[in-house]
Amino acid sequence: MKIPKLLQAELALIFITIIWGSTFTIIAEGLKQVSPIFFVALRFWIAAGVVAALMPGRYRKINRKTLLQGCVLSVALLGGFVLQTLGLRDTSPSNSAFITSLCIPLVPLLGFLMYRQKSSYHTISGIVLAALGMVLLLADKSDFSLQSGDFLTLICAFLFAFHILFLGIFVQKTDYRLLIFVKMACGAILCSIMAVVLETPYVVWDASFTFYILVLGVAATAAAFWIQGWAQQYSNPTHTALIFSLEPVFATIFAFWILNQGWTVKEWVGGILILAGILISEIRRTRKPYAFQKSRIPAG
């Protein structure tokens, strides 16, 4: 039986959330051995090298429009990563995961404000349920208090929302593989410059750090964003963001598995609400590949 492209894309996006859900603790541990911006730069350099190896001979097809779009994506993604990494110095991994997940309701809001892109009733209902689920899953009043790192992470959430929205637009007209390569390469260069200007780069390299940076660079960056670029040809930005609401669910599962942290009733209810939100949003979903209205795609 042939699996529809839309279902393939959404299963791929779920796989990405599993990868990302495992990385919050890895980032927090890695920051003990490296300066934060240099950490992100290393992550992008590794990702750029991996993506380059996956697309030999295609570089001649990169034109001015692809460069511009890739740089826009890079600025949004890089800004998000840097602010998230800086924020993790002054906030907990659970707070970071919760605040970062706010990009999910921001995607349809920004899509409507910028492009008058409307979401279906079922999708909006799913987003509301998923947002409530994330509050129950991650917000802990006994521990959650606003720190300076939380404000940086909030800006990060906006940038990640812009990245999802713009990527969904750009991949309708531009080869996603070229976009991903330009995004990774531009991010690596910009972040290296920022590391020299804004901090004193350092790294304590050992076996543990090698593992951390390879997981982040290869799996959580190169592979994850390659898959996302392909998948967003078929799934719209709002639904992509909704699927990404599973990330804190998987983060909590990994915390249970690795740190032996049990789930409370509140966390169970939160996880169930997120799953319910995604299922409700699937009602009456078309099997046809997603295509953003061409009249709404910015020129250039």
pLDDT in tens, 37-73: 899 899 999 999 999 988 877 777 889 999 999 999 9
- The predicted-structure confidence for 236-257, as pLDDT tens digits, reads as follows 888 888 888 777 777 667 666 6
pLDDT at 228: 92
Local confidence band at 258 (pLDDT 50, 70, 90 cut-offs)? low
Higher pLDDT, 210 or 254: 210
Give the predicted TM-score (pTM) of the model.
0.77
More confident residue, 106 or 206: 206
Domain boundaries, the chain: 5-291
Q: Check if the beta carbon of residue 232 is closer than 8 Å to that of residue 168.
A: yes
79-136: per-residue pLDDT in tens? 888 888 788 777 776 677 777 777 878 888 888 888 777 777 777 777 777 777 766 7
